[in-house]
């Protein structure tokens, strides 16, 4: 999935668009040190940036109610035959992991994305 669409979908999951009104919030995600979970870093950073922008709009009286309905964060998760379960994978871990997933959550699951073909095979083996 294209990262732009992924970030937008994740952010829309925690915003009441009616309360935001006829506004567009543009967020540009630049990952300065890309050593692993760039998608998840972008999602978490975008949520923080959006929250700050909305706080400013509220302080200026542009919007009356907070349109953010929940907090949002993302993290990468992997399974490696040598190291076991991994969290917030760096590039080396991501490259060698049998399973590489991005988990996007509030108090509930927003998205779970699997990026390795071996994961399907391993999952079916574990459930046999």
* pLDDT, tens only, 84-121: 899 898 888 888 888 888 889 987 766 666 665 554 44
Q: Max alpha carbon distance in the chain (Å)?
A: 58
User: 3-state SS of the chain: helix, strand, coil percent to 5?
Assistant: 40, 25, 35
Against a cut of 0.75, is the pTM above it? yes
- Domains along the chain? 3-126 (3.30.230.70)
Given phi > 0 = left and psi -120 to 50 = alpha, else beta, which region is 11? alpha
What average pLDDT does this structure show over 75-85?
89
* pLDDT, tens only, 27-69: 998 878 766 678 889 999 999 999 999 999 999 999 999 999 9
């Amino acid at each position: 999935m294209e990262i732009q669409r992924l970030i937008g979908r994740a952010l829309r999951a925690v915003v009441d668009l009616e309360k935001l009104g006829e506004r567009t919030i543009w967020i540009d995600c630049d990952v300065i040190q890309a050593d692993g979970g760039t998608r998840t870093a972008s999602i978490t950073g975008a949520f923080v940036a959006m929250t700050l922008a909305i706080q400013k709009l509220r302080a200026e009286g542009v919007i009356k109610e907070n349109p953010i309905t929940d907090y949002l964060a993302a993290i990468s998760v992997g399974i490696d035959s040598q190291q076991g379960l991994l969290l917030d994978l760096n590039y080396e871990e991501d490259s060698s992991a049998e399973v590489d997933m991005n988990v996007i959550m509030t108090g509930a699951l927003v998205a779970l994305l699997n990026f390795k073909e071996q994961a399907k095979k391993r999952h079916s083996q574990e459930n046999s």
